[in-house]
Amino acid sequence: MSGLTEVRHGTDKEFAGFLTELVRDVAPRLFAIVEEYGDREDAEIAAYGLAFGDRADINSADGDFQMRSQSPESALALFALSAGTIDVSRLHLVWLDGAVVA
C-alpha cells in the first residue's frame, strides 16, 4: 500500500460508509453544454462532461466525438468557436447539481 494510510473499519457497514465518503470526496461534477437557438426559443444539449480537479472530459450528445480540456469553461469556449457556423445564438454551461453559467 504505497502512499496510502491503512485504516481498519470494524464492520462491513462502517467500511461501506467510509467508501461512500471517499468516493463522494473525489467524484467529478457532471455538466452539460447546451446550445440556445433564437432568443430563448429552443435549446439542444450539445455535450455532457465530467469536471475533474485538473481537467474536463467531454462527450458530444450524439456520440460523434470526445475531447479533453483544461476546464468546463474552456470546453464551452471551444464549442463557441464551432457554434458560430450554425444558428446557435448562445451557449450555456449547465451543472447538473443546479447551477447555470451563461
Quick check: is 37 in a domain?
yes
Looking at per-residue confidence, does 82 or 62 come out higher? 62
- Give me the number of domains the chain comprises: 1
Quick check: is 5 in a domain?
no
Dump pLDDT digits (tens) for 9-26: 788 888 899 899 989 999
pLDDT > 80? residue 101? no
Domain range for 65: 28-101
Quick check: is 78 in a domain?
yes
pLDDT score of 5: 60
- Measured from the Cβ of residue 88, the count of other Cβ atoms closer than 10 Å reads 19
Report angle CA 90, 30, 80 to the nearest 5 degrees. Answer: 25
DSSP annotation of 97 reads: T
pTM attached to this predicted model: 0.80
Quick check: is 63 in a domain?
yes
What mean pLDDT comes out for the span 82-93? 81
Quick check: is 12 in a domain?
no
Quick check: is 61 in a domain?
yes
**CB within 8 A of 48, min separation 6: which ones?**
30, 31, 32, 33, 58, 59, 61
